[in-house]
Amino acid sequence: MRAFRTVSAAATTLAASGFAGLAHAAPAMQGGERQPLNVEAIVMFFAFVAMTLGITYWAARRTRSAADFYAAGGGITAGQNGLAIAGDYMSAASFLGISGLVFASGFDGLIYSVGWLVGWPIILFLIAERLRNLGKYTFADVVSFRLEQTQIRTLSAIGTLVVVAFYLIAQMVGAGKLIELLFGLPYLYAVILVGALMIVYVAFGGMVATTWVQVIKACLLLGGATFMALMVLIHFGFSPEAMFGAAVAVHPKGGSIMGPGNLVHDPVSALSLGLALMFGTAGLPHILMRFFTVADAKAARKSVFYATGFIGYFYILTFIIGFGAITFLMNDPAYYTVAADGAYNKVTALLGGSNMAAIHLSNAIGGSFFLGFISAVAFATILAVVAGLTLAGASAVSHDLYASVIAKGRASEDREVRVSKASAVAIGIVAIVLGYIFEKQNVAFMVGLAFAVAASCNFPVLLMSIMWKGTTTRGVLIGGFLGLASSVGMVVLSPAVWEATLGNPKGTAPFPYDNPALFSMAIAFGGIWLFSKLDRSKRAEIDRAAYEQQYIRSETGIGSHRAVAH
Amino acid sequence: MSSAPAHDIKNDPQFQALVSRRSRFAWTLTIAMLIIYFGFVFVIAFAPTLLAAPIGSGVTTVGIPIGVAVIVSAFLLTGIYVRRANSEFDAMTSQIVGRAK
């Protein structure tokens, strides 16, 4: 086996990039040998694929208008949307990554779960309702509501595509590695399979199919994780104290797994990481799109409430699963790469790396059948997330770039949807190619980069255009691009990329912090404010004058789109 | 949409009441969430031993229920907002919209 990353190194990378990502799972699994064909897992996975393809066929027959394609005709209920949002959000990264982090370091895993969850209330309080009242299909609709269409939509589309691209590469590479490891399929086949399926879901079934894929996957994941956590708790007679006691007794780090380790040490890193986790969520284009799939603001609010509940519950489960994995796996050499003398490192030598803790636990408590089920769920999870990302990217190309920037609003709805479908195919092919190219690369930083860009470009642009009367086209344009450029630049110059990925010597990284959000968000907000203030152009007068009407509509919903066009 | 109804709505006292009440409520909850979360993060950064202290004579530490409480608080705060928004604020909004038509 090639060198496993040690868990301490992996944990540092996590703290560094700021995200327990599947992206992170990828390098951790690089050393994993391809497993023998796992028949149960493959059968269950194909059952999932068959079901989702059936739904896609049904959805394709119902998807006629642009409103159907982008927003499922506004016909998704709050409960369904809550599950779909949770489905978009509970990636394999959070399932395998967080339970793996808990397995390796205990309490520290909770820091990520918490950070990932607390963005949701903020979205609800400040954004969801206004977004729903002002927009139609994409968040660019909202930003360009009173600002100049062409330039603003170009900026928003670039912000969307950059986030989608980094997120997608991380997911594709992670998917390839995971499938190679779980199903025993070659990497390239796995990447092509994922790419092809996501093209089919999005191009044929649009938002209806994508939503249902998310809903099914969310139910499977919540069900599987609940069963695992329940089995662990039953084993310990529902006493967390007994579970923690057993974990402390067997874990090489002993009692220290019950408190914070060294994930965050200085206040700047802590704040920066916290900001990125919290506000990155509020700038993810595939998440923001989901608010347009429900009938009204009431349903939009309720769906955030449900989603927060599902996601919070899920993170508590991953915590139990991580501790369960410590107690069930660490004394069983069958799950480890064991040296000739029978010794093994209880954290780093886990087969496939510590991110596989949840997968091995499923085998330990439910045998090969349940192992197959959880493996299939993990794969389905990736598939659902990439489908959501692809739809967001395709919508940015067709609805923002093509319909508004290139055709200047003269394109027919039919043509716009056709462009969107073609974009979905193109994005899928690009994702396959990039997934193949990046196979051997360390992509750990990419999910972190996606969140940093979302927090530093999309979120400030959205919030300022909704909240501040003085925001002008020029201000948003300059501030948005500054946020985008500074977040990408600082990530590239950070220790996680400059040293760990590009291989420069330790201590040479020009930017000392791994997470740029504190700085790049300040640059974006400051830039929008400053260049709006300085803006004396004719356009700026129009922008400011139109605020009143936007304000009334954002607060009351008068005149807002009801995405029901059949 | 012409600008006339927009103007009427803006001067509607009920609209002004809605906006000021809702924004005060939303910002109060936002600040509550920020204090809870960044409070948690800063205790981790500055005083990790506080969270690592065991409860009684067991191995379970103070940090575990606190971490779970942060998760539960996020859920409760969204619930509190949705409850008031979907009743009081929506009722006010529909009255305002009804008058503007």
Contact list in A for residue B58 (CB cut-off 8 A) is 241, 244-245
**Are A10 and A354 a contacting pair, CB within 8 Å?**
yes
Q: How much is the ipTM here? A: 0.92
Number of H helices, E strands in chain B: 5, 0
Which of A170, A171, A190, A172 is CA-nearest to residue A180?
A: A190
Rounded Cα gap, residues A73 and A565, in angstroms = 6
Length of chain A: 566
**Are A339 and A206 a contacting pair, CB within 8 Å?**
no
- Token pair 């605020």 in the structure block, residue: A547
* Residue-wise pLDDT tens digits, A416-462: 899 999 999 999 999 999 988 888 777 767 888 888 999 999 999 99
Chain A, 409-468: which have a CB under 8 Å from a chain B CB? none
Cα A315–Cα A221–Cα A256 angle in degrees, nearest 5: 30
DSSP reduced 3-state for B53: coil
How is chain B split into domains, by residue range?
Answer: 3-100
pLDDT one digit per residue (tens) for chain B, 101 residues: 444 465 678 888 889 999 999 999 999 999 999 999 989 988 888 888 889 899 888 899 999 999 999 999 999 999 999 999 999 999 999 888 888 76
Cβ separation of B29 and A121 shorter than 8 Å? yes
Cα A53–Cα A55–Cα A56 angle in degrees, nearest 5: 60
Contact list in B for residue A553 (CB cut-off 8 A) is 1
Contact list in A for residue B49 (CB cut-off 8 A) is 259
Taking the Cβ of residue A305 and every Cβ of chain B, the question of whether any pair is shorter than 8 Å is answered with: yes
* Residue-wise pLDDT tens digits, A343-358: 899 888 888 888 889 9
Rounded Cα gap, residues A19 and B87, in angstroms = 38
DSSP reduced 3-state for A503: coil
Per CATH, the architecture of A42-556 is what?
Up-down Bundle (1.20)
Q: Which residues contact A385 (CB under 8 A, 6 or more apart)?
A: A87, A88, A91, A92, A171
Taking the Cβ of residue A512 and every Cβ of chain B, the question of whether any pair is shorter than 8 Å is answered with: no
Q: What is the pTM of this model?
A: 0.89
Rounded Cα gap, residues A268 and A513, in angstroms = 8
Taking the Cβ of residue B42 and every Cβ of chain A, the question of whether any pair is shorter than 8 Å is answered with: yes
Whether the per-residue pLDDT at A245 is higher than 60: the answer is: yes
pLDDT, position B7: 61
Question: Nearest Cβ partner of B74 from A121, A264, A558?
Answer: A121
Minimal-distance CA residue of chain B relative to A126: B26
**Are A515 and A110 a contacting pair, CB within 8 Å?**
no
* Residue-wise pLDDT tens digits, A145-166: 999 889 999 999 999 999 999 8
